[in-house]
Structure 1
Amino acid sequence: MTGVGFTHIGGPTVLIEHAGWRILTDPTFDPPGRTYAFGWGTSSRKLTGPSIAAADLPPIDAILLTHDHHGDNLDTAGRALLPAAGTVLTTVSGARRLGGGAHGLRPGQTHLLQAPGRPALTVTATPARHGPPLSHPITGDVIGFALTWPGQVHGPLWITGDTVNHRAARTAARALRPGTVLLHLGAVRFPSTGPLRYTMNTRDALSLLDGLAPATVLPVHYEGWQHFTENRDAITAALDATGGPPFTWLPPGRQQTITV
């Protein structure tokens, strides 16, 4: 069995530990209270801080950054962590902006993480669309990540990234058949763009996962910011109403070990 440690630090930020590897997703460690501009008149205020301070993290082998240009996925304190990480994987456009040896991946491209005495991890970029059709000029490039390694029991670990349910994501999910899903939710909306959603609500997510039957679904990025419109209570109510599969809620700041 392959036990993997997941520690939810806040928002999209999760520390994943497996067989000596320490991988951090979308580092956000700023304190609450600041308002961040997302472009085209949209913004959001951070409501809660991280459950673990950046200074208390162990050494990080790799950072998986779904996108670099939104403060709820990479903030000032998170950005300061990048130079010390062994590897930074992100979008191609994000890697150009970040410099410093960040590796850019397009959907479908892979990167192999290797180190002596540890199993090799294959990281594959997966497609994400951070809003409705034709929103790319506003929202920019975003990717998700699929992680595979020898001995997985249930199948790949899929980090969806900030995305809506769209055809490319559905196609990738069915080809991948993930065993564990780190699911970005929250149903993001902004007053300036009305009813348009920029991430999935629960019904969208259940549609995306329909027929896949992952062993574990770990919701993240649904709390702690003003622009989320569906919190844990709303997600739970939607699951109860639709009879969807149970989600596993990661306790903030405490590692939970899951068979992947």
Structure 2
Amino acid sequence: MTHIGGPTVLIEVAGWRILTDPTFDPPGRRYAFGWGTSSRKKTGPSLQPEEVGPVDVVLLSHEHHADNLDDRGRELLAQVPLVVTTRAGAERLGRAADGTRGLRPWDRTTLDAPARQPISVTATPCRHGPPLSRPIAGPVIGFALQWEGQEHGVLWITGDTVLFHGVREVPRRMTVDTVVLHLGAVRFPITGPLHYSLTADEAVELCTLVQPRTIIPVHYEGWSHFAQGREAVETAFAASPDHLGERLHWLPLRAVDKL
């Protein structure tokens, strides 16, 4: 895995090059998220699109927030053979029908290509905010990846979500070996203490249920709407009675542009 910044990770496995939530815009701009909310991008990507190389598949948790798909990320989509995203997102992207697959939670699709090992992708539930926020925050999904030869369990990318019954269902349905956690405890001044992504404490509670061998934090830095960064995550995990802090693995970021 290569962490490019925010939620953007390049996963190279079983002959595939899979990119999550492409964000490649430079820092400095403020983006509107709707209903009076906005955020300023503070950190640029560690790699430019041309440095990433060819991408076989984009796993796009949602396309309606710029911290998960920005302008340069949208340009990249035109060069990618397949995008897997939400049903609503697939319709809005307007790509060719065979180049986009829209999934609802617990739908499954298979990545299949000549001379490559098939990968099963299951859409996992997300709720991108407090109760009753879905009509405002919009649909989001995570992704659970399985392929032949996995030794200990699936690779799960949570997507932008808070802790709710939908994500608690994931460890009941599957064994997770590695979890890529979207964190940051997103908050906006207009909605006060309400948060729209996992807090550090919620992440600890979720990982206590999941019991993954490896925990990879992403999407906790680089934007003004993040209320918690690496220090808060490390503190919360260090206090876990299950010693979950020993399972944290911070993917290195190369030098990036910062404001």
Interval containing the TM-score (normalised by the shorter chain): over 0.9
Partner of 1:40: 35
Partner of 2:250: 249
Answering whether residue 128 of structure 2 is matched by residue 130 of structure 1, we say yes
8 A Cα contact 1:10 1:49, kept in partner:
yes
Partner of 1:108: 106
**Runs (5+) with no aligned partner, structure 1:** 1-5, 255-260
SS in 2 for 1:230: coil
Alignment of 1:207-222 (within 5 A): 207-222=205-220
TM-score (norm 1): 0.93
SS in 2 for 1:71: coil
| Structure 1: distance between partners of 2:138 and 2:207 | 24
Greater Cα offset, 155-164 or 79-88 = 79-88
Percentage of identical aligned residues: 58
Q: Give 1:50 deviation, angstroms.
A: 0.1
8 A Cα contact 1:62 1:85, kept in partner:
yes
Partner of 2:83: 88
Q: Give 1:173 deviation, angstroms.
A: 2.9
2:68 is aligned, of 73, 98, 101, to 73
2:17 is aligned, of 22, 25, 39, to 22
Q: How many pairs are equivalent?
A: 249
Write the letter of the residue equivalent to 2:193: P
Write the letter of the residue equivalent to 2:73: G
Partner of 1:3: none
| Structure 1: distance between partners of 2:238 and 2:10 | 29
| Structure 1: distance between partners of 2:254 and 2:122 | 27
TM-score (norm 2): 0.93
| Structure 1: distance between partners of 2:240 and 2:115 | 45
Q: Give 1:253 deviation, angstroms.
A: 4.2
Write the letter of the residue equivalent to 1:14: V
1:58 is aligned, of 53, 63, 74, to 53
CA offsets 1:203-230 (integer angstroms, 9 cap, x no match)? 1011122233211010000000000011
**Runs (5+) with no aligned partner, structure 2:** none
Q: Give 1:174 deviation, angstroms.
A: 2.3
SS in 2 for 1:104: strand
SS in 2 for 1:95: helix
Higher relative contact order at CA 8 Å, sep ≥6: structure 1 or structure 2? 1
Q: Give 1:110 deviation, angstroms.
A: 1.0
Q: Give 1:177 deviation, angstroms.
A: 2.0
| Structure 2: distance between partners of 1:196 and 1:49 | 27
